[in-house]
């Protein structure tokens, strides 16, 4: 019978926290409301350097530029990886099950 290797106890036993992506789809949202959502993320009990925030919008280019400016001012000096992505065309996703139900 093979012997088991002892698992360390304490900080070495804890797996490192994973990097998390938060994807926020928006459409015609007030810029200050989006900024408030991002400010709320700053209060989560998770290291900010392990968060990635992706805001996806298909609003006009001027809106996306204004949102980027507002977020830049709000997050100045804060170590949060964020980006605003503007989609030019509607995206259609078809979701299908990985397995087919049996009759």
DSSP 27: S
Q: Is residue 94 part of a domain?
A: no
Let me know if 58 is exposed, middle or buried by CB neighbors in 10 A (0-12, 13-18, 19+). middle
Alpha carbon 19 to its chain centroid, in Å, reads: 9
65 neighbors 72 (Cβ within 8 angstroms): no
Q: Is residue 37 part of a domain?
A: yes
- State which residues form the domain around 80: 17-86
**61-66: average pLDDT:** 95
More confident residue, 19 or 90: 19
* Exposure class string for 30-46: b at 16+ Cβ within 10 A, else e: ebeebbeebeeeeeeee
The answer to pTM > 0.85 is: no
Tens digits of residue pLDDT in 88-102: 866 666 666 666 666
Q: Is residue 69 part of a domain?
A: yes
The order of strands in the sheet holding 20-26 is 20-26, 51-57, 81-86
Q: Is residue 47 part of a domain?
A: yes
DSSP 89: S
Three-state DSSP state, 65: helix
């Amino acid at each position: 019978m093979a012997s088991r290797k002892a698992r360390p106890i304490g900080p070495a036993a804890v797996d490192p926290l994973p990097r998390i992506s938060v994807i926020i789809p928006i459409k015609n949202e007030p810029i200050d409301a989006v900024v408030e959502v991002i400010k709320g993320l700053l209060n989560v009990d998770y290291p900010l350097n392990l968060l990635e925030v992706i805001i996806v919008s298909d609003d006009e280019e001027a809106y996306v530029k204004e949102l980027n400016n507002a977020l830049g001012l709000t997050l100045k000096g804060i170590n949060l990886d964020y980006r605003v992505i503007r989609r030019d065309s509607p995206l259609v996703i078809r979701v299908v099950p990985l397995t087919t139900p049996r009759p």
